[in-house]
Chain A
């Protein structure tokens, strides 16, 4: 029941490359769409992530919105991933791929640290990421900012899904990066203080969250220095706050409802659900 158009597309696509993924379902999915089936959407982090290096350290940050099409799928999503004690990665792209890739990196780096008895270097994390992503030819949709401090100093790198890597003194990624980078280009200076760098990252993130529909809600920061790593967040900028209080008060005067019967049950609470957000 495949239409000729779909068949043409199928004939045109070379699906036999590589052993890791099987892309034959792409054709099936396209055929199903042609027949009117609704396809599930990927949860993708339309994102703003920013990182700035300063004298002796590095500040990285991300917004916390995860989107699936026009829907905000998660308002408090964590896009700053810990790789080691002093190496972090901020991710843009496909949320599931980012989680898996950063999990793999942190595992491998921890093993490396245990085997060598030394702290892992940022360049090691970068190499692992780029070789993994290049192997999958961009099909793993992970766009990463990898940064941290190691015995050779502070480092900041960008790694794209197809395996491109670059080193930067400051940079931004994701759909909000265009707005964020304007702030960085205007105000970045070499050898800033920690406070200056932190302010700059926060302002760049807020620009991204303000100008990009797919970014927003709140921001998380991580400040990496040789001695200690400080995590800050979630910080909710003024323009991200809800105009009216989230939880309205529904309090009735005692006696507003007539009590007809009284009965007491005793329960043990085994599990509770957090419904605060």
Chain B
């Protein structure tokens, strides 16, 4: 067990220290590679304990024109890492007069996540496009481990859609197909996960750059799930139609 975290949680009444619940992104992050780019989709809930601190958070942080990072875990830690990594990537691309590849950007993130693995609780998805390898998606869980994935889900909501994504991915997906799968996966995860919710944000990254989209629950296009009906043995007023 990580001692720093343990100490953070313990109240020290002697100095009047009562730790606040850490603001964290109980999250749903979905991402998928397709022919020519990557699609990522997220929920927008940020909570501190049982309180929703923000219901329209943007968990997709743009780093360059064709690279985004999706954050989950401690909001403070992931924001700080994204800021520092962005600074490094900008500096490298200016010094070398060349865009930093997605793979290298991922390694920069990895470096921080690994070196500070004891004091960080951050996990990210790096998604981007470069001319060398096309659309790429890298998953970096807590601890600084990197894997390239064709499709992945991360955060508390990910457990509910792992199988769904496995069943849906196939080679040569089009952008529209890919976007539909990602959106539906976020919708399914948000429906079952109490720590995910709010709006659905979708980003598509291809050779033309990054496009961000927003889907609100009160507007058309939101990937809503039909609530399951109550059991037949329940009284009539429990079994509500959609």
**Chain A residues within 8 Å of B, Cβ to Cβ:** 12-14, 17, 26, 29-30, 32-33, 39-42, 44, 130-131, 134, 137-138, 160-166, 168, 178
- With A160-B76, A164-B79 as known contacts, state yes or no: A39 contacts B16, CB within 8 Å: yes
Q: Is B75 an interface residue (CB 8 A)?
A: yes
- Complex Cα distance, B15 from A32, in Å, reads 11
Measured CB to CB, the closest approach of chain B to A216, in angstroms, equals 21
Q: Is B53 an interface residue (CB 8 A)?
A: yes
Measured CB to CB, the closest approach of chain A to B186, in angstroms, equals 20
Q: Is B7 an interface residue (CB 8 A)?
A: yes
The answer to whether A30 touches B23 (Cβ under 8 A) is no
The answer to whether B76 touches A164 (Cβ under 8 A) is yes
The answer to whether B51 touches A178 (Cβ under 8 A) is yes
The answer to whether B4 touches A162 (Cβ under 8 A) is no
- Complex Cα distance, B16 from A33, in Å, reads 12
The answer to whether A163 touches B80 (Cβ under 8 A) is yes
Tell me which residues from 116 to 140 in chain B have a Cβ below 8 Å from any Cβ of chain A. 119
Q: Is B238 an interface residue (CB 8 A)?
A: no
Which one, A17, A40, A163, contacts B76 given CB within 8 A? A163
The residue in chain B whose Cβ has the minimal distance to the Cβ of A38 is: B14
B residues near A17, Cβ cutoff 8 Å? 4, 119
- Complex Cα distance, B18 from A44, in Å, reads 11
Which one, B4, B12, B23, contacts A164 given CB within 8 A? B23
Q: A13-B7, A29-B14, A42-B16 known; 10 other A-B pairs, CB under 8 Å?
A: A14-B7, A26-B15, A32-B14, A42-B17, A138-B19, A162-B23, A162-B76, A163-B76, A163-B79, A166-B54
A-B contact pairs, 16 of them (CB 8 A): A17-B119, A26-B12, A33-B14, A39-B14, A39-B16, A42-B15, A42-B17, A44-B16, A130-B79, A130-B80, A138-B22, A160-B23, A160-B75, A161-B20, A162-B76, A166-B46
- With A164-B23, A166-B53 as known contacts, state yes or no: A14 contacts B4, CB within 8 Å: yes
| Interface residues contributed by chain B, number (CB under 8 Å) | 27
The answer to whether B13 touches A33 (Cβ under 8 A) is yes
- Complex Cα distance, B14 from A112, in Å, reads 40
The answer to whether B12 touches A29 (Cβ under 8 A) is yes
A residues near B4, Cβ cutoff 8 Å? 14, 17
The residue in chain A whose Cβ has the minimal distance to the Cβ of B14 is: A29
The answer to whether A39 touches B13 (Cβ under 8 A) is yes
B residues near A33, Cβ cutoff 8 Å? 13-14
**Chain B residues within 8 Å of A, Cβ to Cβ:** 3-4, 6-8, 10, 12-17, 19-20, 22-23, 46, 51, 53-54, 57, 74-76, 79-80, 119
B residues near A131, Cβ cutoff 8 Å? 80
Measured CB to CB, the closest approach of chain B to A160, in angstroms, equals 5
Measured CB to CB, the closest approach of chain B to A14, in angstroms, equals 4
A residues near B51, Cβ cutoff 8 Å? 178
Measured CB to CB, the closest approach of chain B to A70, in angstroms, equals 13
A residues near B46, Cβ cutoff 8 Å? 166
- Complex Cα distance, B76 from A12, in Å, reads 25
B residues near A41, Cβ cutoff 8 Å? 16
- Complex Cα distance, B19 from A163, in Å, reads 14
B residues near A26, Cβ cutoff 8 Å? 12, 14-15
B residues near A42, Cβ cutoff 8 Å? 15-17
- Complex Cα distance, B76 from A131, in Å, reads 10
A residues near B14, Cβ cutoff 8 Å? 26, 29-30, 32-33, 39
The answer to whether B54 touches A168 (Cβ under 8 A) is yes
The answer to whether A12 touches B16 (Cβ under 8 A) is no
A residues near B76, Cβ cutoff 8 Å? 134, 138, 160, 162-164
B residues near A168, Cβ cutoff 8 Å? 54
Which one, A40, A138, A165, contacts B79 given CB within 8 A? A165
The residue in chain A whose Cβ has the minimal distance to the Cβ of B78 is: A164
Measured CB to CB, the closest approach of chain B to A71, in angstroms, equals 13
B residues near A164, Cβ cutoff 8 Å? 23, 74-76, 79
- Complex Cα distance, B7 from A26, in Å, reads 11
The answer to whether A30 touches B12 (Cβ under 8 A) is yes
Measured CB to CB, the closest approach of chain A to B43, in angstroms, equals 15
Which one, B6, B7, B12, B22, contacts A162 given CB within 8 A? B22
The answer to whether A166 touches B57 (Cβ under 8 A) is yes
In the A-B complex, the 6 residue pairs with the smallest Cβ-Cβ separation, listed nearest first, are A42-B16, A163-B76, A29-B14, A14-B3, A164-B75, A162-B76
A residues near B80, Cβ cutoff 8 Å? 130-131, 134, 163
- Complex Cα distance, B8 from A137, in Å, reads 9
B residues near A44, Cβ cutoff 8 Å? 16
The answer to whether A12 touches B3 (Cβ under 8 A) is yes
